[in-house]
Amino acid sequence: MSKIKPSKGAPYARILGVGGYRPTRVVPNEVILETIDSSDEWIRSRSGIQTRHWANDEETVAAMSIEASGKAIADAGISAEQIGGVIVSTVSHFKQTPAVATEIADKLGTDKAAAFDISAGCAGFGYGLTLAKGMIVEGSAEYVLVIGVERLSDLTDLEDRATAFLFGDGAGAVVVGPSPEPAIGPTVWGSEGDKSETIKQTVAWNEYDSSTDKFPAITQEGQAVFRWAVFEMAKVAQQALDAAGISPDDLDVFIPHQANERIIDSMVKTLKLPEHVTVARDVRTTGNTSAASIPLAMERLLATGEAKSGDTALVIGFGAGLVYAATVVTLP
């Protein structure tokens, strides 16, 4: 018989607070059109994107994360010292080590919180949320900060007509803490590595030659990604609803990864979401911010009153890998 004592975590976990940070510079489609042969109408019809935010030199991955996290901590009504874990999902922190989460944890004033980065692309927020839930239920932390943050403008080829208009920068954060009732459903997640070439970095860092190569950027096979997202991710979203024991009629809010408005519209149609369900469309003014897109969209819906505390929301992220994660949550 094991001599290990059982953990004394909370029975359940929930999102207690949310915060976001968007860089001060707003970039309209007209700026993108300076380097690609396209039109504002084409960009809007293909993606729904009208503007995006690009970070300046001071708006680093860490700086944006700290701003968003401070708002989330205040929204949760706790202090930074109570944070026991900091999970950062990003693909645009260029130092292999140390993890940027450790810098964020220190500058926020946590009491030596566990801190680590994860790389799960546009599904990263869902991965982090699931890990945070496990930490709280297991008892290794009472409150966990989950951050999705990107500076994708650093990884954008402004001459690539297929991707130049897509990406934006920003940070979104949530505080996850104990709950007396279920408020974060089971996660349906996975990967399809056989499709990893459909979204990738153009040149590996150890192969990059500044004298001959363009700076590494994100590229994708647009049609293949679109088909996969529309047909396969709707199935994953339905599985998450089933795992939570609810139907589309029970939903109040749908917050998919803000990749492309055409993908969002197709998922809404395939899932047969009722008209009363509020659908996040932050992509229009924020662009695709990868791991940051879901918490940023969540914050905006709550701030504008389009969603309210206690609403039941389906969240799903999907992207490079190809990886995905979907769950049902109660909004803070």
Report, as residue numbers or ranges, the catalytic residues.
Answer: 122, 257, 288
- Could you tell me which residues come within 8 angstroms of residue 98 by beta carbon, excluding any fewer than 6 positions away? none
Peptide bond into 314 cis (omega under 30): no
Q: What is the token pair recorded at 254? A: 């749908």
**Whole-angstrom distance, CA of residue 257 vs CA of residue 277:** 16
SS3 category, 54: strand
> Which DSSP symbol is given to 215?
P
> Which DSSP symbol is given to 167?
B
**Whole-angstrom distance, CA of residue 106 vs CA of residue 123:** 26
Q: Give the residue among 291, 301, 290, 293 at the shortest CA–CA distance from 332.
A: 301
> Which DSSP symbol is given to 288?
B
Q: Give the residue among 200, 167, 215, 175 at the shortest CA–CA distance from 23.
A: 167
**Whole-angstrom distance, CA of residue 171 vs CA of residue 252:** 24
Question: Phi and psi (nearest 5°) for 245?
Answer: 75, 30
How many residues comprise the chain?
A: 332
- Could you tell me which residues come within 8 angstroms of residue 95 by beta carbon, excluding any fewer than 6 positions away? none
Q: In this structure, are residues 185 and 244 in contact, taking their beta carbons and an 8 Å threshold?
A: yes
Q: Cα(first)–Cα(last) distance of the chain, in Å? A: 41
Q: Give the residue among 162, 167, 149 at the shortest CA–CA distance from 52.
A: 167
Q: Give the residue among 57, 71, 289, 78 at the shortest CA–CA distance from 178.
A: 78
Q: What is the token pair recorded at 64? A: 């944006």
